[in-house]
A and B are shown apart, each in its own frame.
Chain A
Amino acid sequence: MDGTIFLFLLQDGVINGAVYALVAIALVLVFGVTRVILVPQGEFVAFTALTVAALENGNAPPTAWLLLALGGLAAISELVRHFRDLTVRRLVRIALFDLALPVALLLLTRALAPMKLGQVANILLAITLITPMGPMIYRIAFAPIAHSSVLVLLMASFGVHFSLMGLGLVFFGPEGTGTAPLSSQSFALGDLVVTGQSVAVVAVTGLLLVLFAIFFGRTLLGKALRACSSNRIGARLVGIPTGAAGQIAFALAALLGAVSGVLVGPLMTVAYDSGFLIGLKAFVAAILGGLVSYPLTVLAALGVGFAEALFSFWASNFKEVLVFTLIIPVLAWRSVYAPHAEEAE
């Protein structure tokens, strides 16, 4: 392998790693606040890319219908769960967030889509459609079992992943598509051709990571989310509503997933089920970061991206095998180094 190939692989690895980093950060955030290992995180990524693709073709994306479906389910779940202590405030919230918002977005997309407003509008619309799905999913699937063990939550998470993937097939169909590059320019750096797309990926990821660092480091809300993962009882005792914190964490996860979807759309062909693998590789990075540390997770994500690029050069058929086998020694090491107590049921 010569230097050029190495640089090329490095660039490839950094781009993939940057996307994995965004997804992995979302996984760490959600796990910290809610103890849910968010298997369906990848679906946010895939659905966003498919939404942008539909908008580029001037079609109204089926995402709006999916959002309405999820909103309906969230409303039903909320009504069943709070059957006995239903307040007017809660009813208004359900009506506004779960029903009015999806309907409004549905009408908006149907009006805007044929106008082909251009890339920026498409991206913003896609992110707006995907982000509310996060808290809706939290309320449908996880809020009723918020106090269960990590294992129960993990199984439920797989259930949500299955259902969402199936719904993705219903709404988006089986075909994969790509989206227009964020920038079609490119420039040479020595032997290496750097594409504008890769610069955009790295820049957007970097910007988001900085924004998140500020959010978690400087704002009271960000600190409150960290407090939930640091000490749940402590967080409740100072009056942080952990259920609302869970919804915010899911909203942020969906937002991060949506941005990742915008970034990967031009890099690969995305189908309804493409998110799972992206999510799992990000998940490898999240585990490497111990599901706790954000900086370690970002480093690990870059590492996974680079390892994947190397593996696909040396043994492309076995790249997935190698990436996922990588995780086992890490888990074993973690089990010895940071064993957690038997979980009470």
Chain B
Amino acid sequence: MTAPLLDVRGLSVAYGRAEVVHDVSIAVTQGALVTVIGANGAGKTTLLNAIMGLLKARGRIEFRGADVSSVALESRVKAGLCLVPERRELFADMPVEDNLLLGGFRRTRAERSQTIEQIYARLPRLKERREQLAGTLSGGERQMLAMGRALMARPTLLMLDEPSLGLAPRIVRDVFHILTDLRQTGVSILLVEQNARAALEVADYAYVMELGAITKQGSPTDIAQDPRLVESYLGLGGNEY
């Protein structure tokens, strides 16, 4: 078996004194769609931010066979690691097209013009809106743009943080379609979601995160049938206070 594309081992993140991610180990193999699900506040966002390099963390992060845990964020982008953050973090006062072009900041001009055409083909809505300011887009369009911007960097591994957050169900469906599409083209995906059912439906492998730690992992069907999953969301008959 070949080494996984992303191999995170014993990762811990602390804000001041409070440790919010404890000793987490996850892996993403080449071409897979892996999901980390869990209730709000479980530490999923912190985990992604630490892998991306936005936060300092203890532990080992191996990407494409190299240890990147002390590598600068911009070099991780160059190596093909990309994050679509929960808050999208678009350049609101710049047009859609500039947002996309900047997504390819670490690529050559030729790569940029080639990739942007592919993205426009995949997400025609963005092409229609190319001259509109990013700040004036609707919630769904912003999510599309955030994904498009990340794809401009030609990622090997795309990480998405709650892409369905705040979106109407119909648009959530579109977003997940795009994800399955992307996987077809060979992009590996690490998806963090609160919307467990949707995530489990598209994933190849799943982790459940609770209170900063991975409490369960396995195939999506196993996880979906585990009664503990519902508990971790709705607290059915767990602890009595």
Contact = CB atoms under 8 A, between A and B. Distances in A.
Question: Do A and B touch, yes or no (CB under 8 Å, in the complex)?
Answer: yes
Interface of A: 85, 220, 223-224, 226-227, 230-231, 233-241
Nearest to A217: B98
Counting from the closest, the 10 A-B pairs by CB-CB distance are A239-B77, A234-B89, A239-B106, A230-B91, A239-B74, A241-B74, A233-B89, A227-B91, A238-B105, A238-B103
Interface string B33-68: 000000000000000000010100000000000000
Given A231-B90, A233-B85, A220 B102 contact: yes
A28 to B, nearest CB: 13
B105 A237 contact: no
A40 to B, nearest CB: 28
B74 A240 contact: yes
B8 interface: no
Interface string B148-163: 0110110000000000
B24 interface: no
B106 A237 contact: no
B91 to A, nearest CB: 4
B74 A236 contact: yes
Contact of A220 (B70, B89, B105): B105
A230 B134 CA distance: 11
A238 B77 contact: yes
A234 B101 contact: no
A236 B89 CA distance: 10
- Chain B's interface size range is 20 to 34
Contacts of B102: 220, 223-224, 227, 235, 238, 240
Contacts of A236: 54, 73-74
A240 B105 contact: yes
A238 B93 CA distance: 16
Q: Which of A235, A236, A237, A240 has the most CB of B within 10 A?
A: A237
Interface string B113-140: 0000000000000000000000000000
Nearest to A234: B89
A227 B101 CA distance: 11
Contacts of A240: 74, 102, 105
B123 to A, nearest CB: 17
Given A237-B52, A237-B83, A239-B77, A231 B92 contact: yes
Contacts of A239: 73-74, 77-78, 105-106, 153
Contact of A238 (B54, B92, B153): B153
A237 B89 CA distance: 9
Given A220-B102, A226-B94, A236-B54, A241 B72 contact: yes
Contacts of A230: 91-94
Q: Which of A230, A233, A239, A241 has the most CB of B within 10 A?
A: A239
13 contacts: A223-B94, A223-B98, A226-B94, A233-B54, A233-B85, A234-B90, A235-B91, A235-B102, A237-B89, A238-B103, A238-B105, A238-B152, A240-B102
A238 B149 contact: yes
A291 to B, nearest CB: 14
Contacts of A241: 72, 74
B211 to A, nearest CB: 24
Contact of A231 (B74, B89, B98, B103): B89
Contacts of A237: 52, 54, 73, 77, 82-83, 85, 89, 150
A67 to B, nearest CB: 29
A233 B77 CA distance: 13
A233 B92 CA distance: 12
A227 B94 contact: yes
A233 B74 CA distance: 12
B149 to A, nearest CB: 7
B83 to A, nearest CB: 6
B160 to A, nearest CB: 12
Nearest to A241: B74
Interface string B185-220: 000000000000000000000000000000000000
B109 to A, nearest CB: 8
A226 B106 contact: no
Interface in B164-198: none
A224 B90 CA distance: 13
Contacts of B150: 237
Contacts of B104: 238
A241 B92 CA distance: 19
Contacts of B90: 231, 234
A250 B91 CA distance: 22
Contacts of B54: 233, 236-237
Q: Which of B52, B83, B91, B152 has the most CB of A within 10 A?
A: B91
A62 B102 CA distance: 42
